[in-house]
């Protein structure tokens, strides 16, 4: 099996990130992408410099970048914190940006590596991990289900047209899943 590895995103990665956000398979789920690298620097610069609680990552498959994940404490986003009601949780968002890698079964493998190697050790006090995909995103919901995430409440975030589903898994359950599976 080809190896998947993660590294911190830096400004050099913003070209790929902007391109990925404009791919049709990504635009379906992420509204208002940065128009260009300059807009991405404004939007994500604080995260890349460690000035904001969200951390951004690049996933590579056999050394070639193909996806991104960001993680952040739920309580760093007031709207999300009120809706999720898990103050010690860490949320994460993810996308496979390279269209050549979509539909190849990489989502669950990528998130297994991310959770095992990045999120669990990077957030030792987090008791829950949550992802909130668009309720229409069947593929994402299937990936989270494979990893043991349980669909909980539907939420409507300010400015969003469609509902999201809070999918959550406990730290203990994830630790077992990503090391056994």
Which helix (H) or strand (E) segment is 12 a member of? none
Whole-number pLDDT of residue 180: 64
Q: Over the stretch 41-67, which tens digit does the pLDDT of each residue have? A: 999 999 999 999 999 999 999 999 999
Whole-number pLDDT of residue 1: 64
| Residue indicated by tokens 């050790």 | 121
* Helix axes 14-21 and 37-48, enclosed angle (nearest 10): 120
C-alpha–C-alpha distance, residues 110 and 106, integer Å: 6
Give 155's pLDDT tier (boundaries 50, 70, 90).
confident
Q: Over the stretch 10-34, which tens digit does the pLDDT of each residue have? A: 999 999 999 999 999 999 888 889 9
Q: Over the stretch 1-16, which tens digit does the pLDDT of each residue have? A: 679 999 999 999 999 9
All domains of the chain in start order, with CATH: 4-180 (3.40.630.30)
User: Is 138's pLDDT higher than 80?
Assistant: yes
CA separation (Å) from 73 to 56, 103, 133? Answer: 13, 29, 17
């Amino acid at each position: 099996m080809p190896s998947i590895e993660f590294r911190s995103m830096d400004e050099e990665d913003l070209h790929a990130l902007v391109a990925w956000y404009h791919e049709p398979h990504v635009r379906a789920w992420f509204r208002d992408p940065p128009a260009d690298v300059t807009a991405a620097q404004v939007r994500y610069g604080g995260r890349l410099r460690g000035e904001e609680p969200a951390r951004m990552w690049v996933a590579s498959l056999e050394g070639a970048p193909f996806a991104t994940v960001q993680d952040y404490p739920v309580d760093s986003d007031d709207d999300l914190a009120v809706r999720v009601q898990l103050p010690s949780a860490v949320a994460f968002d993810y996308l496979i940006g390279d269209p050549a890698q979509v539909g190849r079964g990489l989502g669950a493998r990528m998130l297994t590596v991310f959770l095992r190697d990045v999120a669990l050790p990077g957030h030792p006090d987090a008791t829950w991990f949550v992802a909130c995909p668009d309720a229409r995103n069947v593929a994402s919901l299937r990936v989270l289900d494979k990893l043991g995430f349980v669909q909980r409440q539907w939420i409507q975030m300010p400015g969003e047209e469609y509902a999201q589903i809070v999918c959550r898994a406990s730290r203990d359950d994830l630790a077992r899943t990503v090391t056994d599976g």
